[in-house]
Structure 1
Amino acid sequence: MRKPKGVIEVFLQPGELYFSDRYTRLRTLLGSCVSIVLWHREALLGGMCHYLLPTSCHPDHKPDGRYADGALHQLLREIRMSGTHARDYRIGLFGGGNMLESRNRQHIGQRNVEAGLALLAAHGLACHAQDVGGEGYRNLIFDVWSGSIALRHPNPQHVANRRNEASSS
């Protein structure tokens, strides 16, 4: 989708997250990492994280965007600070690819996906769209002004556990 005037583009590196308004396009590149994308249709607010691991092995760690639990904690804090409620957001989960061609069904990408889904469920939040698993990486673009999510898989043979529902429905 064409970018309106005044929109900033933010590229998320692993461990980063960003929450903003309608004047934002968020991008990232995912391998075994996972992004949780949240979009509020009426307020035109949204956020995205890019986490690397399911959880920290340190029980007393501060919320850290490198871990699923810390990244979601930080996104939920941003939502509260905006005066909106998490249950009013459309939520998508993307990534978790098998990057090392592991035959192990519990590779890190799969564990990242499971952690994200479990955390959303624990907070009473539904996942409305997902494109997870498979082989290789994904380019992810999220336009906060429209809720549009674009995914590109460089490998046309990509086979993923895929359930896509339009983020703007």
Structure 2
Amino acid sequence: MAIEESGIRRVFLSPGGVICAAEPTLVTTVLGSCVSVTLWDKERRIGGINHFVLPRGGASSRYGDTAMRELLDEALDLGAHLRSLEAKLFGGAAVLPVGGEGTVGTANVAFALGELARRGIPIAGRRTGGARGRLLIFNTETGDAFVRWLAEHEPLPAVS
């Protein structure tokens, strides 16, 4: 994916955010235990992404149940068709422990996988788990995603 394309809108997605676009947009986010799901309609070239913190818990899109519903609703409102969507899944690093043997990251990934399966949306790619955060850049026009590990002491990118 060409990151330095001219004339393309660029957006930083914070935790709890959901963005869908029918116009070319590069969406950047940083994930630790959080998860981002991208949806892309390959026929209509409509893409969207969310960034959720916990699987369930409330009406905010900081929670996976709300973030997944908002992402799908926004994509369909822009003209995407459910049968044409494909998903990619990112994040879910084991950086925060939760009760028992699991982590917030594994719980987030399991939730997202279950939601996609329940809705019949195929998964075209996945980069989940690990022990460090990731930088993710998603192109809403092509469905391409660029992802790389963050170095252990790397500063987070500036938000514009």
- The interval holding the TM-score normalised by the smaller chain is 0.7 to 0.9
Inter-partner Cα distance in structure 2 for 1:87 and 1:33: 27
Inter-partner Cα distance in structure 2 for 1:108 and 1:2: 30
Q: CA shift at 1:23, angstroms?
A: 2.1
Matched, 1:8 2:9: yes
Instruction: Tell me the equivalent position of 2:94.
Output: 98
Please give the per-residue CA displacement for 1:129-160, whole angstroms capped at 9, x wherever unaligned: 1010111100000112222210011349xxxx
Q: CA shift at 1:127, angstroms?
A: 1.5
Note if contact 1:30-1:138 (Cα within 8 Å) is conserved in structure 2: yes
Note if contact 1:101-1:135 (Cα within 8 Å) is conserved in structure 2: no
Inter-partner Cα distance in structure 1 for 2:10 and 2:48: 13
Q: Give the 3-state SS of the residue equivalent to 1:73 in structure 2.
A: helix
Note if contact 2:21-2:78 (Cα within 8 Å) is conserved in structure 1: no
TM-score (norm 2): 0.86
- Among 130, 144, 147, the alignment partner of 1:151 is 147
Q: CA shift at 1:2, angstroms?
A: 4.0
Q: CA RMSD in A?
A: 2.0
Distance 1:74 1:101, change over 3 A: closer
Instruction: Tell me the equivalent position of 2:138.
Output: 142
Matched, 1:54 2:55: yes
Percent identical pairs in the alignment equals 35
TM-score (norm 1): 0.81
What is the correspondence of 1:80-99 to structure 2 with a 5 Å cutoff?
80-99=76-95
Distance 1:128 1:105, change over 3 A: farther
Amino acid at match of 2:88: G
Instruction: Tell me the equivalent position of 1:123.
Output: 119
Q: Give the 3-state SS of the residue equivalent to 1:128 in structure 2.
A: strand
Distance 1:19 1:110, change over 3 A: same
Instruction: Tell me the equivalent position of 1:166.
Output: none
Instruction: Tell me the equivalent position of 2:20.
Output: 19
Note if contact 2:85-2:122 (Cα within 8 Å) is conserved in structure 1: no
The unaligned stretches of length 5 or more in structure 2 are: 153-160
Matched, 1:30 2:31: yes
Please give the per-residue CA displacement for 1:15-68, whole angstroms capped at 9, x wherever unaligned: 001000232101100000000011122222100000000001xxxx53x21111
- Among 69, 73, 87, the alignment partner of 1:73 is 69
Aligned residues: 151
Please give the per-residue CA displacement for 1:82-140, whole angstroms capped at 9, x wherever unaligned: 222123122101000011478x6411000000000011111122212101011110000
Inter-partner Cα distance in structure 2 for 1:108 and 1:101: 6
